[in-house]
Each structure stands twice: as structure tokens, then as C-alpha cells.
Structure 1
Amino acid sequence: MLYGRGLLWVLGGWLSICAAAFGDERHEQGRELYNYRCYYCHGYSGDAKTLAASYMTPAPRDFASTSLDALSRERMIEVVTRGVEGTAMKGFTYYLSPVEIELVVDFVREEFMAEQRVNTLYHTVENGWPDHDRYRIAYPFATGELPIDMPQTEMNAQQRKGLRLFLTSCVSCHDRGRVEDEGAIWELRAISYPRNNFSFTQFDGTTSASVYAEHDQVPRVAGLSEQEKQGEVLFQENCAFCHAADGTGKNWIGSFLDAKPRNLTDPEIMQSMTDARLRTVIEEGLVGTSMPAWKAVLSSAQIDALVSYISRVFHPVADDPVQPPR
């Protein structure tokens, strides 16, 4: 009898170890999926503090500030499966199986919502950042500990050196650094050229430029109307981040997205586009893609200006067919 109880005790302990190991394996599988599919908008630490998130309205969910009681597992699985209409959150059934969706949801719930862990740091050797500590004096400006518009007369020598390092090496990705006075909005545009001479992308063998750099150039078109000029400003400040400055969607960000942004210059894609259809897409977004709805961000007149600019500079947009009188 004692032997039987001892055997059960050992067996129970072994099963507990196996269950823990299996749980750890599932958690790490969820981490791998999250770090590949979700970090870009929701952040490596689930707090949605990313450059991409700063351009999105509504913003991606901050899981680190969301309690388990406030968002059920079932609802999270539904959102990852189907997406959320009117936002940049698309459904992932094309990319993830039902089992993988559960893995990533369970990872988020434990890693961020329950434990508020850091998860994975971006600046690692594996991500192309050897000896990242050499930027340490710039950290206070990247983390927001010090505002980047702090008067340099109030800084010590190391802080002034750190600010220069931040502005020359870090600002491309950390350009939402803390400031005391927002002032005029910064010029928003996609950044293609790699930092620290590292990139997973290819380069032009003659110029050493990023193959995406040419798509960050704003088309120069003479004779734009006032409405088209307004549309140019709106497009370059809001749309070029994904669609590229030249409208092709072939910048780094556009190439990164799985559902590619529409190439607004492609005749085969744009030949059937009408004024009403383009307006609807801008206003309502596209379900299942990263194209969000802009109706709560842009006015009707601003959307008119965007349509006018796209039709003039990238590809003519057909007028809506005239309905015969009844």
C-alpha cells in the first residue's frame, strides 16, 4: 500500500513537470508568433509604444494596461480571427491556424496582461545590434527621461553629447521622444535607409542606397490646383507611411506588411477605381487589411482633396457612372 502511494506521488510529480514543460513550450511558441506578427503595432512589451502605433487612430490596444477581467480570452480569439472593423487590426486566419491564434492569445494574456513582462528587447545581437550599450548616453532621450527640447544650457556635457548621439543615430525610430513643447507637427514620412549600416534588405550595388529609397521621393508635378496641393500634404503626412511617397506601396513599410498596400500607380489595379469607391475605401477602411478607416480623422473636404491628388498624380480615377433618370 505504501509502495502504491509512493508510486502515485512520483507519477503525480512527473506529470506536473511534464505539464509545466508543455506549458513553457506553448508559451514560447506564442512568443515567437507574437514577435513575428504582432510586435510592430502592439510593441515588444505589449504596451503599443511603437512608431507605427503613433500614426493609428484608433491606437492599437495597450495590453500592459489591460486587465484579464476587462478583456476575455474568447473576445481576444475572436478579434485575432476576424479583426476589428474601422481599425488597423485585421483578421489573421490567412496567416495563423486556430491553434496558433490560441497560442498567441494565451501568450499575450500571461506575458503582458497578467505579468507585465518586458518580453523581448529589440536591440539585441540577433536583431543586428551588437554592443548596443555604446549608445547608453542617448538612452535618457530615447526613453523620455529627458525631453529632447530641453535647453542645452541646462544640460551637462554628457547630456549634450547624448542628445547629439540621439539625434544622429536614434531619432529615425524614436522620433516620438518626449518634448516639453510639441510645437508644429514634424514631417511624417517613411524611413527606408537602414541604421548602423545594418539591414536585412538588399542595396543598390552602384549607389549603396536602399532599394526602397527611391519610393520615399515625393513626385514633383507642376500646376497642382489648391485642392490638389492640400491633398499632397495630407497624403504625404498620413498615407505615405504605408503607400510610399510615390504611391507605389514599395517603400520599406509597405513591403513589410503582409496585405500589401494598394499600388496607386498600377493601371491594372486602378483602372476600375472610381471616385466613389476610392472615397469609400478611405472613409471606411478595408476589412482584413491594415487599411484603417479615416472618416473620424479627416473631414469630407480633406478626403475630396486626397481623391483629387491621387487621381492627378498617381493614376486617373474614373468618374462615377451617371445613373439614367427614372
Structure 2
Amino acid sequence: DGRSRARNGLNPPPRDYTSSEAAIELTRDRMIQSVTHGRPGTAMIAWKTELSEAEIEGVVDYVRNTFMHLGNQAAATRAKPSAALLASPGGVLYIQVCAMCHGETGTRQTVGNMNPPPRDFTAPAVIAELNRKRMIASITKGRPGTAMRAFGERLSKAEIESLADFISAAYMNNANAK
């Protein structure tokens, strides 16, 4: 919310990312540009020499997903997977088992308020981190400290693999299909 100890020493003060104005005014692209090149006249310095493009995108996505009240705005801009993908075995399972937490568009825009929130499969940092093996392990064994429960006893190995493949194809552009 920008109310850190440093706030009083900064002119202008830091941005309040939790405000509805921030959610409306600050697009993802604008935030990436601000982190990359800094904001003249503010304490926001450029990070392009310290962080990679993927790291900058990860920071922006973290701020947007953790602090900004985007409602269904982000989900509305993301298309649902194709009808063919949704009709695949993995797509059918995803809608039945995963969409309640991760959302129909993979962006975790759901009615729940989980802490920590579910993964946004479309976030660049998540795409860079998750591979097929990791997704299969998470689906099978769950993720300690999160709401992600184990499905290894409920779903077959083939079903779990089809879920991982669907998530990769539908939300990660097959970036981590291997």
C-alpha cells in the first residue's frame, strides 16, 4: 500500500498498488516499463542492469497478483482455451478438478481467497519455473503450505499426465511440454 517507513522521506511517496486507481491505471506493460527504465521524478530506479527481462516480468506479475485488486479484469483479457483443448481428456479433468482454484483461463481469477493464492499458469515467472515433471509431481503429491492437495490416489498416472499436458498447451503455449 506504499505505507513503508521510507514513505515520509520520498517525494512523491510510493504508489499504493492496493488502490482501485492503480488497478485501472497501471497496465502490466506500463509496470514492466517502469521497473525496466525507472520513473523520472520518483524514487523508482531502473532495474534493467540488475534484473533479466524474465525477472522483471516476474516481479511485476507478483505485485499485480498479490497486491492489486484486478477482479476479473485480468481474466477477461485472457482467452479461454480452444474448444478442442477443453474437450481433450486433460481439458475435461481441468474443468472438473482444477478450474475452481486456478480459473477457467489459468489466471487463478476465482471467487476464493486462498493464501497463498493458486498458481497463475499464464505468468511469465510461473511459465519459466514449471516444467512437465514439476507439474506432475505437484498434481500427484500436492504442495505443502498451500491449498494444492494431492491427487495421486484419486487420479491415474495417465490422467495426471494429461492434466499437465493440458495446462502446458492451454496456458503456457507448450513452453514446458518436456
For the aligned pair, the TM-score class normalised by the smaller chain equals 0.5 to 0.7
| Superposed displacement of residue 286, structure 1 | 0.5
In the TM superposition, residue 212 of structure 1 has moved relative to its aligned partner by 3.2
Indicate the residue corresponding to 2:155 in structure 1: 298
Residue 109 of structure 2 corresponds to: 250
Aligned length: 108
Kept after mapping to 2: 8 A contact 1:218/1:245: no
How far is 1:319 from its partner? 4.8
Q: In 2, Cα distance between the equivalents of 1:259 and 1:238?
A: 19
Aligned match of 1:310: 167
**Counterparts of 2:84 and 2:93, CA distance in 1:** 18
In the aligned structure 1, how far is the partner of 2:155 from the partner of 2:79?
A: 21
Query: 1:142: which partner in 2?
Result: none
Inter-CA distance 252–223: structure 2 relative to 1 (3 Å threshold): closer
Give percent identity, aligned residues only.
27
- 319 and 310 in structure 1: CA distance in 2 versus 1, 3 angstrom threshold: closer
| Pair 233,275 (structure 1): closer, same or farther in 2 beyond 3 Å | same
CA RMSD after TM alignment: 2.8
Determine helix, strand or coil for the equivalent of 2:129.
Answer: coil
> Can you give the 5+ residue segments of structure 2 that lack an aligned partner in the other structure?
1-68
Tell me which residue corresponds to 1:236.
95
- Tell me: CA distance 1:306–1:269, structure 2 relative to 1, closer, same or farther (3 Å): same
> What code does the residue aligned with 1:268 have?
A
**Alignment correspondent of 1:212:** 72
AA at the equivalent of 1:310: I
Which residues in structure 2 correspond to 1:41-60 (within 5 Å)? Answer: none
Amino acid at match of 1:232: G
Q: Which has the higher contact order (CA 8 A, sep 6+)?
A: 2
- Runs of 4+ more than 6 Å apart: none
Equivalent residues in 2 for 1:277-292, closer than 5 Å: 277-292=134-149
Q: Identify if the C-alpha distance between structure 1 residues 289 and 224 changes in structure 2 by more than 3 Å, giving closer, same or farther.
A: closer
Which has the greater radius of gyration? 1
TM-score, reference length from structure 2 = 0.53
Whole-angstrom CA distance in 2 between matches of 1:260 and 1:294: 18
CA apart distance, 1:214: 7.5
Distance in 1, matches of 2:84 and 2:104, equals 19
Tell me, yes or no, if the aligned pair for 2:102 and 2:110 is still in contact at 8 Å. Answer: yes
CA deviation after TM superposition for structure 1 residue 220, in Å: 3.9
CA distance in 1, matches of 2:103, 2:73: 10
CA distance in structure 2 between the partners assigned to 1:220 and 1:288 by the alignment: 29
Q: 1:249 to 1:296 in 2, by over 3 A?
A: same
| TM-score scaled by length of structure 1 | 0.30
